[in-house]
Amino acid sequence: MKISVIGAGSWSTAMAKVLSQKGHEVTLCARKEEDAKRMELEGENLKHLAGVDLPKKLNFSSFKKIPPSEVVVFGVPAQHVRDVLKEIEFETHGIVNLAKGLEIKTLKRMEEVFKEFTDVPYATISGPSHAEEVAREIPTSVVVSSRKREFAEEIQKEFSTNRFRLYLNDDLSGVEIGGALKNVIAIAAGVLDGFGGWDNSKAALITRGLAEITRIGIKLGADQKTFMGLSGLGDLVVTCTSRYSRNRTIGEMIGKGGMFSDDSNFVVEGAYTVVAELKLAKKLKVDTPIARAVYALIYEHKSPFELIEKLMKRPLKEEW
């Protein structure tokens, strides 16, 4: 297949490598032409995925010159997807989204944002898939979901390798909700790591975080089973525990006494998704105490110890 990958971050670059090694004709498109030329010259993405050799047959281009493709893979951070769609022009028969997040202004999932710009078949890939490990060919399993079953099956077949395995999941809403909201929980998990590693607390946080995500998902019509799968529990666990997790890392920094700061080279999706999540939770009348605590931590600079005490003193209740 002819495939264009939009965005030259770590995850986009790793996916471009996987697809090129699979035998597809792949073009990795960076925002800036000089970045594309630099990757082509150096044979790696020093800015976002240093130390990983890129296939010699991988092509490089910029947003201004996206070649006609059978499939376009979008690896742009969630809060920038709309702006990029307004900026670029492309020809394709289908779109595969890699971004995980909710748009702050509209509270929309990525599928809903893309629908405003195109009606070609759309799919999302989600699950425990840190770019650093995918690029190093460490076995990884994810899910692909689409409203069009045939398109999801095609992507499953054409994207799967003996190191990158795709499962089908028809619950597109649930897959995107799980992928977005797990980043918020991971920030809280990082805070506990910053304290020196509170294992009991972290296990409880992951479990109750999953319950919080599931409550929102069910209200939006998602299947509860989805949140026990790769795009729910699987992605949540890896994001809360991995040294590669940007969301967990920013939480760890806060746990050690630092403060959150916006860095365009180090996108922390959870810090933005939490804003949308709280607005959505209010609209749906869903209780999200962990998300409220993460928001207070980042934007109100509340003490993490104070927030933990507040969580622990909530009225006692049934688990289910």
> Going edge to edge, which strands form the sheet with 59-62?
59-62, 25-30, 2-6, 71-74, 95-97, 122-126, 140-146, 164-168
Stretches where the chain sits below pLDDT 70 are 261-267
Q: Are 184 and 69 found together in one domain?
A: no
Q: Where does a domain end: 145, 172, 199?
A: 172
Q: What is the pLDDT of residue 260?
A: 73
Q: What is the pLDDT of residue 267?
A: 67
Q: Where does a domain end: 117, 145, 172?
A: 172
Is there a domain that residue 34 lies in? yes
Give 30-75 pLDDT, tens digit per residue. 999 999 999 999 999 999 999 999 999 999 999 999 999 999 999 9
Q: Are 137 and 243 found together in one domain?
A: no
CA-to-CA dists, residue 139 to 115, 163, 196, 239, 256, angstroms: 32, 4, 29, 17, 32
Q: pTM surpassing 0.75? A: yes
CA-to-CA dists, residue 238 to 54, 145, 159, angstroms: 25, 20, 22
Is there a domain that residue 317 lies in? no
Count: domains in the chain: 2
Report residue 16 as tokens: 């471009």
Burial of 262 (0-12, 13-18, 19+ CB in 10 A): exposed
Q: Where does a domain end: 113, 141, 172?
A: 172
Give the range of the structural domain holding residue 250, as residue numbers without chain letter. Answer: 180-312
CA 183 to chain centre: 8
- CATH number of residue 83's parent domain: 3.40.50.720
Task: Write out the catalytic residue numbers.
Answer: 182
Give 218-238 pLDDT, tens digit per residue. 999 999 999 999 999 999 999
Give kind and range of the element (H or E) at residue 204. helix 199-219
Q: What is the pLDDT of residue 264?
A: 46
Is there a domain that residue 123 lies in? yes
Q: Are 156 and 9 found together in one domain?
A: yes
Give kind and range of the element (H or E) at residue 26. strand 25-30
Nearest CA-CA partner of 209 in 145, 282, 293: 293
Q: Are 159 and 271 found together in one domain?
A: no
Q: Are 116 and 223 found together in one domain?
A: no
Q: Are 17 and 159 found together in one domain?
A: yes
Q: What is the pLDDT of residue 268?
A: 85
Distance CA 127, CA 235 (A): 5
Q: Are 186 and 168 found together in one domain?
A: no
Q: What is the pLDDT of residue 158?
A: 98
Nearest CA-CA partner of 216 in 247, 173, 187: 173
Q: Are 108 and 222 found together in one domain?
A: no
**DSSP of 70-87:** SEEEE---GGGHHHHHHH
- CATH number of residue 274's parent domain: 1.10.1040.10
